[in-house]
Structures are given as structure tokens and as C-alpha cells.
Amino acid sequence: MMSNDLESYQRQGFGADMPLPAPYALLIVDLVEGFADSEIFGGGNIPQAIAQTEHLLAHARSQGWPVAHSRIVFADDGADANVFSLKVPSMLTLTEHAPRSAIVAQLTPVAGELVVRKTLPSAFFGTDLAAWLTFKGVRTLLVAGAVTSGCVRASVLDALNHGFRPLVVSDCVGDRALGPHHANLFDMAQKYAVVTPMSEALGLLSRN
């Protein structure tokens, strides 16, 4: 991003600091085997995001934060195909028992963690995620996962729409292409979320 572009955003009032009050929760978006594999849906910096998210998940569990995971899961017969799968037909291969739809082993959910199944980019749309987070009293939602420009971004926008304060942990999100990854981190930081790497994010929260 050119410096004069950033100056334009700042001059127009974008990118303000946003307080991040407790309680906190962690949402891990679509870190499944298919997105870990560069031959299927992966590539770019997704492997590094998975490795970092393993540490973030361990921290969330140690703090007792609510944790939610999302998976894209279509019906075996494609009966629930939609406009998303029309645009990306290979998404229909992500079915309940397909190995590529399984959450990666190092992030396997444990008892008490919510697993949201979805057929559209946002982890909120058509799911009970918002109600679950509200029931838990969550105010600030940390977001990790893949891909930054797609399902992560869609979930961040819907988190904001539901009144949660999104904190995008920048080294825990990844994309198959780095251009969209960086552009979307910039845009989310200016309009919708706090965007910062894990070390700084946890430091911010420890001071609140």
C-alpha cells in the first residue's frame, strides 16, 4: 500500500483505535485439510498460519475462552449447492466425511468447543455462531483461519454486523495468494477490525 493511500484513509477518519474489552473468544475459520493442501484449496502462507494458530489455540484454551471452529460442509449429493458452489464448484467436494473437510489434526476441537458447518463464506450466515457467542457473553472475537480474502473476511464483517469487536490475528490467517492476503488485512484494519500479529494481540488483551 502506497503511503499516500494510507494518508488518504487517515485523513478521512479510517483506521481508528478500537478498545477490545473482555470477555474474549476465538474463531478458527476453515482450517481443514483441504485448505492445508496446496493441491486442493491451499498454498501461499496458509501452512504458517496453521502453525501459529496452534499456539493461539493453546493460549485460548489455557485462558478458558470460548473457541469455535468452522468447516465448509455440503451434502454428499450436492442437494444444498448454492451460488458459492456455482462460482467455485470444487467446494462441493467438502462433504461431512471427506478427508479434505476434516479440521487439521493439530487443531482438533476438544469437548465444549463449537464446530460450525456452513455452505457459504461467513461462519455466521445461517449458523448459530452469533447466538452461541452472545450466550457466552463475548465482546471481542479473535479470528484466525483461511482464507484472508474470503471466508475470514466474510466472517469478520459478520462479526462486526452482530456487534462483536473483531481482532484479526494477522499471522494466524492465511491465503493462497499473498496479494489478496495483504490487501484484505489492510482493508479490514482500516474499516472493520483490529489487525495485529499474535504476540502483540495477546499483549493488548493482557493489559485490558
Alpha-carbon gap, residue 176 to 170, rounded angstroms = 15
- Give 25's strand partners: 141
Task: Enumerate the active-site residues.
Answer: 151
Q: How many alpha carbons lie under 13 Å from residue 18 in its C-beta half-sphere?
A: 25
Is the Cβ–Cβ distance between 129 and 116 less than 8 Å? yes
Q: What three-state secondary structure class fits 15?
A: coil
Residues 6+ apart with CB under 8 A from 10: none
Report whether 146 contacts 123 (CB < 8 A).
Answer: no
SS3 call for 40: coil
Sheet holding 194-196, edge to edge: 114-118, 67-72, 24-29, 140-146, 165-174, 194-196
Cα–Cα dist 180/176, whole Å: 9
How far is CA 24 from its chain centroid? 15
